Amino acid sequence: MPGSGSSPCAACKLLRRRCAKDCVFAPHFPPQEPQKFAYVHKIFGASNINKMLQELPFHQRGDAVSSIVYEAKARLRDPVYGCVGAISSLQQQVAQLQSQLAVAQAQNLCMRMHQAAMASTIVANTEVSPLDSAESSDENQQYKHVTSGFEPFGIAEALLS
Amino acid sequence: MPGSGSSPCAACKLLRRRCAKDCVFAPHFPPQEPQKFAYVHKIFGASNINKMLQELPFHQRGDAVSSIVYEAKARLRDPVYGCVGAISSLQQQVAQLQSQLAVAQAQNLCMRMHQAAMASTIVANTEVSPLDSAESSDENQQYKHVTSGFEPFGIAEALLS
């Protein structure tokens, strides 16, 4: 039980000290997970972790421990860049996605403009003289069907909703 | 001059010790930037930084110091999440961009399909009987111009190049 004295927390066990009732490590470093404290001890040192936790209200310490463990593991895995390597890689991914999105949006714009031109050409070519209107009414109906049926953003809207 | 003994590096000055010729901190913590070492000392501790640098070949220590300083500053700015907060925020940005890209690509696909349908309708309506061909040659020429001029990816390709 953490902080009971009989079964010291992972931190006190590693530091070979008595685990007091008010041990700052005990709620976050249970004896069942000895490696968790070993990571942060190796990178930040017990004294610094102690100070960091003491400076935070209790309800924020759990999140702080999680992020400190994450950082320590990243630094052990990559001693040169640590978790800054992940930041750099994510920043590259963001830049790549932004560029792909710009291309896709430019394609969209270009297609919209072309489609508008196509639609106006169809309309222009179906504007017949009154004398021809009786003959070409079937054709006009067909063009009307094509232009009024144009709803290219149906799928996109469905994805967004 | 770092490591000269007469003008100690920022680390040795803060630690109030003699800056030896082979001081591991001196090449990376010049006396002109005292705050840089203060940050990493507060978060990681001088002993841990010393160990981390000693374990790396000299040519990688500059990058390691940069990433350690970045992490320390992030932890001082945000004591709960440190630079893990930046990772989380970037991951959210990646997810948002991936979703926006999926929508834009779905719009593209939808417009391509619609454009293909429009083009085939135009072609079908310009397929005239041999008896009418002489009269409608001008019209066909116009449709040909509309369909052959369709290069929606010109802008996108220009952006990519």
Query: Which of B 35-74 lie inside 8 A of A, CB atoms?
Result: 42-45, 47-48, 52, 55-56, 60, 63-64, 66-68, 70-71
Averaged pLDDT of chain B: 81
Binary contact (B94, A98; C-beta < 8 A):
no
CB B49 within 8 A of CB B10: no
Confidence of residue B140 (pLDDT cuts 50, 70, 90): very low
pLDDT tens, position by position, A61-72 = 999 999 999 999
- Residues A92 and A49 both lie in one domain: no
Q: How many structural domains compose chain B?
A: 2
Cα dist from B23 to A146, B29, B49, B80, whole Å:
78, 10, 12, 33
Residue B135 has pLDDT above 70, yes or no: no
Examine residue B39 and state whether it is found in any structural domain, yes or no.
Answer: yes
Structural domain including A97 reads 84-160
Q: Is the pLDDT of residue B157 over 60?
A: no
Q: What is the mean pLDDT of residues B13-39?
A: 96
Q: Give dist(CA B132, CA A43) in Å, integer.
A: 86
Neighboring chain A residues of B109 at a CB cutoff of 8 Å: 155
- Position A133 scores a pLDDT of 47
Residue A3 within a domain: no
Interchain proximity A85–B67, CB inside 8 Å: yes
In this predicted structure, what is the pLDDT of residue B51? 95
pTM: 0.71
Q: At what angle do helices B58-77 and B34-43 cross, to 10 degrees?
A: 70
**Chain B contact present for A116, CB below 8 A:** no
B68 CB burial (10 A radius; 0-12, 13-18, 19+): buried
B26: closest CA of chain A, how far (Å): 18
Interface test with B, best of A101, A123, A136, A160 (most B CBs within 10 A): A101
What angle, 0 to 180 degrees and rounded to 10, lies between the N-to-C axes of helices A133-148 and B84-126? 170
Identify whether residues A107 and A60 lie together within a single domain: no
The residue among B92 and A158 whose pLDDT is bigger is B92
pLDDT value at residue A143:
40
Tell me if A84 and B93 make a contact (CB, 8 A cut-off): no
The reply to whether A49 falls in a domain is yes
The two three-digit tokens of residue A17, written as one number: 């000290």
Mean pLDDT of B54-83: 97
Answer whether A25's CB lies under 8 Å from A13's CB: no
Domain boundary among A77, A110, A135: A77
pLDDT less than 50: residues of chain A: 1-5, 129-161
Closest CA to A42 of B48, B65, B37: B48
The number of C-beta contacts closer than 8 angstroms across A and B is 185
For residues B58-87, average pLDDT? 97
Residues A119 and A152 in one domain: yes
Q: Which positions in chain A touch B155 (Cβ < 8 Å)?
A: 106-107, 109-110
Does B60 contact A71 at a Cβ distance shorter than 8 Å?
Answer: no
Long-range pairs, B125-128, Cβ under 8 A, ≥24: B125/A139, B125/A142, B125/A143
B84 within domain boundaries? no
Per-residue pLDDT tens over the stretch B99-123: 999 999 999 999 988 888 877 877 7
Q: Which of A30, A46, A77 is the last residue of a domain?
A: A77
Q: Do A89 and A140 fall into the same domain?
A: yes
Residues of A in contact with B75 (CB under 8 A): 52, 71
- pLDDT (0 to 100) of residue B117: 82
In a domain, B83, yes or no: no
Under a CB-based contact definition with an 8 Å cutoff, are residues A71 and A49 in contact?
Answer: no
Q: Residue B145: is its pLDDT beyond 60?
A: no
Which chain A residues are within 8 Å of B55, Cβ to Cβ? 79
Of B52, B81, B114, the CB nearest to A152: B114
Query: Residue B44 pLDDT more than 60?
Result: yes
